[in-house]
Structure 1
Amino acid sequence: MTTETFVTERLAVARPVRWNPLTRIAFRFCFLYFGLFCLLTPPIVFELTGPLGRQLGSGAQFWHIRKLQSFLDWVGREVFGTGVQLYSTGVGDQAIFWVLLFCILVVAVAGTAVWSVLDRRRTQYRTLAGWFLLVIRILLAGQLLSFGFAKAIPTQMPEPSLTTLLTEYGDFTPMAVLWSQVGVSRPYEMLLGAAEITAAILLLIPRTALLGALLALIDTLQIVVLNMTFDVPEKISSTHLLLMSLLLLAPEARRLTRVLLLNRAAGPSAVPYPFHTARSRRIVAVIQVALGIWIAVAAVHGGWHAWRTGGPDRPKPALYGIWSVSEYTRDGHPVPPLTTDETRWKTVIFDYPDTFTFQRMDDTLVTVPADVDAASRRIRLIEGPPKYRPMTKTVEARNPLGTLSFQQPDTDRAVLTGELDGHQVTLTLDRIDQDSFPQRSTSFRWVQNRPNF
């Protein structure tokens, strides 16, 4: 900071500019609305807990929602005609969160009206605005760090699974299309994460906060567009992160207009800041950077754990891969591969240790929980519904299916024997080269004479 800028800001503090009535009302509303939103929306403040939050578990961030469950359910029934409850899916656009958002809006509007009447003689809120914008900036940076490392360590949109490779494109939801599109290109996903991490770092350094807010605006705008156009159920949080970016830029609107549109000198910053001495600014800057490191440590640890358990080097089940059922015998009789037969299997997929996927002759994919014991070479298909797999179209299987033993004469051939639905079966499996799929086999090329469709 130059001496001229420092003196200018001190003079601004000494002779504060009178805010017009609309600015004062807008600030009161934003202070109440975004303050309540950040406090009551689970992930916003929770990110500041850093590694401590990882120890508490993801359920800790929803404790206050559970406390408000009865009240929000009452509001949902009385105002919108439907009850609401909290689901443990991690989805941010649940009905209960929309009802919560409605309550926040009502309280903010009513609070603004009362505040405006009781505090009508106040001419400005520069000190309070300085603290408010500082907190908003830190919270926005925390969210971008979390989002960024989930992509920089490419686990948010993982590489398409083996089941995904066999799923027909028409069976994908728009969100599944987006996740597969990004997941198929790790460099692209990592660059998206790098942009979000860069914006967060710039936001946490006071000297570069304006540049960070501009980059955060671009990052969050892209997130909002993708969430809206691909129906990703995080529209509430992403839209508010975009609004928080605009909130940080609002005091700089005049300077940005002069530089970007009028090609003139920017002039001194009008952003209120609660610290005015050089020493206090340095101390707070160090604290902000330390807080960013604290959040980043948790994000990196979580991302690395997700990479080890869900990345390419994750634990894989015995017989990992895609297998074609070349022969199917039931109770000693061969079963021909007829597309009208709903009981014969066409393909078997071993992708995750706790699941088993098979494809029927009509190409329907069925995923069921499984216990694969490599030591005893047994596969137990467990009763109960299959695990939630958002990327593919999952069909409920009739349970219990049975228990199978497997033998593997060579790497490209396996035999399953045992009981399925009360019948003795023998399945001969031939490995399908997973790298034969274009998503796995198509490499980058500088020279191409035709489109890669």
Structure 2
Amino acid sequence: MNTISPSENTHWSFLKKISFRFFFSYFSLFILLQNNGAYPYFGFIGNFFKNLFYNFVPGIGKTFFGIEVKIPTGPSGSGDTTYDYVLVFSIALIAIFSTLIWSLIDKKSKNYLKMYYWLSLSLRLYVGLMLINYGLVKVIQLQFSPPSFSRLTQTFGEASPMGLAWTFLGFSKGYNLFMGLAEVAAVLLLFRRTLTFGLIITLMTTANVMAVNYFYDVPVKLLSTHLFLMAAFLFARDFNKAWQFFFFRKPVSLTSIYQPPFKKGFKIFLIAAKILLLSYVLGYGTINAMASKERSIQAKAALPLRGLYEIEEVSIQKGKEISDSPTEINGWKNLLIDHKEYALIQYKNGEKLWFTVKIDSLAKSLQLKSTSADLKEYTFTYHEGVDGDFYLNGLYNKDTISIKTKRTLDYREKFLLTNRGFHWINEVPFNR
């Protein structure tokens, strides 16, 4: 790495200055308004500007796109909402307007080396910290959890593209570790000497994430696209040299990003700030991720009645007689309890219905209320038998209902996907 930096007297072309003005305005606004937790504690600042845009963006949507309905602005779990798209369009409009005004006012500047340094630092931190955060939760397999009961009893055809991707990615601990380490490698972006090498890795990582989000309909398309564009913007200064080196085998010399001359005290401050930031992100980030993983494991372990219940026999007593007449419960195939608030009932005809669940361990009672409009409700008492037998007893339409089930806790043994294991040697492909 050649650390010789370009001179402050370097003349930028007119097109280069115009491009920089746009990207400086655009990326600065995007980071300010869509920080997504990249900068620690940045929300205190960002929320002020977000609240301003909550009132501004709907007007842009109505003016340019004819959106008459109220655009929801609150969090929804999706990063690709109508509000997000109109916000990005608004940012682009402001950046274009800013570029025009800036170009009219500033006709004397030869270059923007100092501003490029601060913009590149902001982008390196934004992309780097974002990917480190995402990488840490992948390393411990927290973002993509192993397939749940409901996933494993679902057919491929019933899964959404995003659900299929989450099942594929969550299946393997090893692949999660691989993805996580590739994203954590973005720590190389935080050092100017390792920036180019880190960008090569980051461009491949963000391109892959962006492709998954696009082609599996994951609602993080806007964010992943911007992470890729930011990495591409940073790599643009070395693109020609990389092209010459890889495709024409010409010797090249890389230079560090120009750093403005700082006073010694400020340099020490920057170094100390970087050390603290890295310690916080890598140290606290790792501790926090591990703690979240442990809480998730404990919550699963402490969940009462967690398991897969296969319905073996349904007995219905009308008064003093045992009835063989079919009821809605006769159509049950499986009862899945894998969440503290929800349960899933699978029917023999393939239908599925979600229920809210309330469990009283002391009274040994189980209450199910459907989340659909039909408002089906069941209340059972339960007790365990032998060899995994589990019994539910209650009333339904004034009839006494007794249900015998087979409870399975370690569901992995029941499914080929989770019990196949790893094989070095395969005489023939095992493709099922």
Which whole-Å CA distance do the structure 2 matches of 1:410 and 1:208 have between them? Answer: 62
Residue in structure 2 matched with residue 71 of structure 1 by the alignment? 56
Matching residue of 2:218: 232
> Which stretch shows the higher mean deviation, 317-326 or 105-114?
317-326
Confirm or deny: 8 A CA contact 2:393 2:402 kept in the other structure.
Answer: yes
**Aligned partners of 1:251 and 1:270 also within 8 Å:** no
1:417 to 390, 393, 411: 393
Among 25, 30, 53, the residue aligned to 2:18: 25
Flag the 1:316–1:448 CA change in 2: closer, same or farther, 3 A. Answer: farther
After superposition, the Cα gap between the structure-2 partners of 1:123 and 1:315, relative to the gap in structure 1 and judged at 3 Å, is: same
Indicate conservation of the 8 Å contact 1:203/1:212, yes or no. Answer: yes
Q: Check the 8 A contact 1:32/1:111 in 2, yes or no.
A: yes
In the alignment, what sits opposite 1:179? Answer: 166
CA distance in 2 between counterparts of 1:343 and 1:100 reads: 51
Q: Of 257, 274, 282, which aligns to 2:260?
A: 274
Pairs within 5 Å for 1:150-165: 150-165=137-152
Q: Give me the whole-angstrom Cα distance separating, in 1, the residues matched to 2:373 and 2:392.
A: 19
Are the aligned partners of 1:401 and 1:421 in contact in 2 as well (CA < 8 Å)?
Answer: no
Paired letter, 2:39: L
Q: Is 1:327 aligned to 2:303, yes or no?
A: no
Give 1:100 shift: 0.5
TM-score (norm 1): 0.86
Change (3 A) 1:418 1:64: farther
How many correspondences in the alignment?
424
What's the offset of the Cα at 1:410? 2.2
Aligned-residue offset at 1:318: 3.1
* Change in CA separation of 1:438 and 1:197 when aligned onto 2, cut-off 3 Å: same
Contact 1:131 1:274 in 2 (8 A): no
- 3-state SS in 1 of match to 2:418: helix
Distance 2:346 2:331 in 1: 9
Q: 1:346-385 maps to which residues of 2 (within 5 A)?
A: 346-382=333-369, 385=371
Q: Give the share of equivalent positions with the same residue, in percent.
A: 23
Local SS of the residue matching 1:415: strand
Query: What letter is aligned with 1:69?
Result: Y
Extract structure 1 runs of 4+ deviating beyond 6 A: 276-280
Amino acid at match of 2:61: G
Mapped to 1, the partners of 2:122 and 2:97 lie a distance apart of 23
Of 374, 377, 381, 1:398 maps to 374
SS in 2 for 1:329: strand
> Which amino acid counterpart does residue 101 of structure 2 have in structure 1?
V
Cα 1:248/1:331, change in 2 over 3 Å: same
Distance 2:367 2:46 in 1: 36
Residues 181-260 of structure 1 aligned to structure 2 (within 5 Å): 181-199=168-186, 201-260=187-246
State the superposition RMSD in angstroms.
Answer: 2.7
Does the 8 A contact of 1:205 with 1:289 survive in 2?
A: no
Q: Following superposition of structure 1 onto structure 2, how do residues 114-133 of structure 1 map, counting pairs within 5 Å?
A: 114-133=101-120
Distance 1:423 1:310, change over 3 A: farther
Amino acid at match of 1:101: V
Stretch deviating more after TM superposition (181-190 or 359-368) = 359-368
Residue 392 of structure 1 corresponds to none
Give 1:47's aligned residue: 38
Per the TM alignment, residue 311 of structure 1 is displaced from its structure 2 partner at its CA by 4.1
Q: CA deviation at 1:364?
A: 1.6
* 1:96-115 matches, cutoff 5 A: 96-115=83-102
Q: 1:336 to 1:38 in 2, by over 3 A?
A: farther
Secondary structure of the residue aligned to 2:38 is helix
Name the CA shift for 1:256/1:363 in 2 (closer, same or farther; >3 Å).
Answer: same
CA shift at 1:67, angstroms? 4.3
Shift of 1:431: 2.9
C-alpha deviation, 1:108, in angstroms: 0.4
What CA deviation, in whole Å up to 9, does each residue of 1:358-391 have, x standing for no partner? Answer: 11221222221212222321112257x4xxxxxx
Corresponding position of 1:38: 31
- Equivalent residue runs for 1:263-342 within 5 Å: 263-269=249-255, 271-275=257-261, 284-311=270-297, 314-332=300-318, 333-334=322-323
Give the deviation of 1:278 after TM superposition.
8.8
CA distance in 2, matches of 1:365, 1:66: 40
5+ long unaligned stretches in structure 2: none
Please say which of residues 282-291 and 82-91 is displaced more in the overlay.
282-291
How far is 1:298 from its partner? Answer: 4.6
Mapped partners of 2:183, 2:339: distance in 1: 30
Deviations 1:400-443 (A, max 9, x none): 51321110012510000113466532111023562120122111
Matched, 1:436 2:427: no
Query: Any idea what SS the aligned residue of 2:380 has?
Result: strand
Which piece of structure 1 moves more, 202-211 or 314-323? 314-323
Contact 1:342 1:361 survives alignment (8 Å): no
Q: Which moved more, 1:310-319 or 1:85-94?
A: 310-319
